[in-house]
Amino acid sequence: MESKLKGRIESIDILRGIAMVIMALDHVRDYFHFSANTSDPLDLDTTTPLLFFTRWITHFCAPVFIFLSGTSIYLQSIRKSKSELSLFLLKRGLWLILVEMIVITFGWSFNPNYPAFFMQVIWAIGISMALMAFIIYLPYWAIFTLGVLIVIGHNFLDYYEIQDGFKPNFIWDISHHGVFKPYEFIKGHSFLIVYPFLPWTGVMMLGYCLGILYSSNYSQEQRLRNLKILGLTLIVLFIILRYTNLYGNKTPWEVQKNILYSLFSFIDVNKYPPSLLYICMTLGPSILVLAWLESFKITGFKYFKVFGSVALFYYILHIYLIHALCMLIFFVRGHHMSEAVNPAAHFPFYFVISGEGFSLPLVYFIWILVVLILYPICKIYDKYKTKHKNKKWLSYL
């Protein structure tokens, strides 16, 4: 059997880093692709295969990020007392919510008036962590059972939504559905609830439960076998439920004009809110990759470990860098500040003109450029963080 866990798990950091890098592709597309603010890249009537894939592949990022956050919580529970871990989770969770509302919202909009606060993935992680501060006191079996019930069962709430007379409210949207319409709480200031917390908290709870595979109770052979079984089970469950259109996603798949577009319809599942099939489709292959990364030591993948080790630091920087590059091109094109300043606007973002942008090959070029710029910065910070483990504030970034 393995000795008690020490340090970080390399395969987890690498998978998280891969997700972070892919995520940047979607955000570069948001700011630079000419159709980013005029059409849905998953709309089968208007999309192209490359555009569909560019958006679809980034669906893996949020589930991996949040699921592995739960796994990291379990790994911390091996080293910390429950009371110490609970206090840390509560403080870090509230801190992440504040970072989302102030630091990250400004990075998205560059609008100091804050007409809208974007409640996205960092908010979802933050509120889920704050809830985990209390959830970790439950027995392991109870956390697993509750996580499964949330992830599998929250789609039953969709049936409630379609009943006559149903009217969503703030509590409904912030917990289950999510919505891109603004909820104005003070005149001129609104919330945009992109990520409802209930399903994502369920994902974090199941990630927490996966962490037991990295404890001394399991050998590496047992862990890899269980990871492969779990990953394949989720993939098979996705295929069966999706093919039959029985349950787990609001919109059914349909046969399209050709096999490729029929496949696109099959794998186009709801992210807002994350459906059961969305979670199965993304976490199944991701868990298999997690096992594969541990089985095969490939040197090239270690570059991703840097991003995975400093995920929040990278997340904040990449938003500011992408938007700053967008702003630079905005002015180079001859636009003026008066075209960008619109305090009442929620979308499009500052310095983004709808319908103006680049082709997908150039979007990919900018994406690679952004990752290359951020790599040495993240590597320096990772070394600093590793060297100064005694500085507790570093655990919040």
Q: Name the nearest CA neighbour of 311 among 11, 109, 39, 69.
A: 69
pLDDT value, residue 288: 97
**Which residues partner with 118 through β-bridges?**
192
Q: Residues 152, 276: contact at Cβ < 8 Å? A: yes
Contact call for residues 322 and 31 (beta carbons, < 8 A): yes
Strand residue runs (E) in the chain: 116-119, 183-186, 189-193
The Cβ-side half-sphere exposure at 333, using a 13 Å CA radius, reads: 16
For the chain, the straight-line distance linking the first and the last C-alpha, in angstroms and rounded, comes to 33
| Alpha-carbon dihedral sign for residues 231, 228, 219, 299 | negative
Q: What is the pTM of this model?
A: 0.92
**Cα–Cα distance between 224 and 230 in angstroms, integer?**
10
Angle made by CA atoms 67, 378, 388, in degrees to the nearest 5: 90
pLDDT at 344: 55
Q: Which of 146, 130, 157 is nearest to 275 (CA)?
A: 157
Q: Describe the crossing of helices 276-295 and 220-244 by its angle, rounded to 10 degrees.
A: 150
Give 16: exposed, middle or buried? Use CB within 10 Å, 0-12, 13-18, 19+. Answer: buried
Where does 114-238 show beta strands of DSSP type E?
116-119, 183-186, 189-193
**Residue in 266, 293, 259, 264 with CA at minimum distance from that of residue 280:** 266
The residue assigned the tokens 């009442």 is 344
Residue-wise pLDDT for 110-153, tens only, equals 888 888 888 999 999 999 999 999 999 999 999 999 999 999 99
Task: Point out the residues of the chain with pLDDT beneath 70.
Answer: 1-7, 180, 342-348
In 3D, which of 160, 205, 190 has the Cα closest to residue 68? 205
Contact 198, 150 (CB under 8 A): yes
Closest CA to 152 of 162, 144, 163, 160: 144
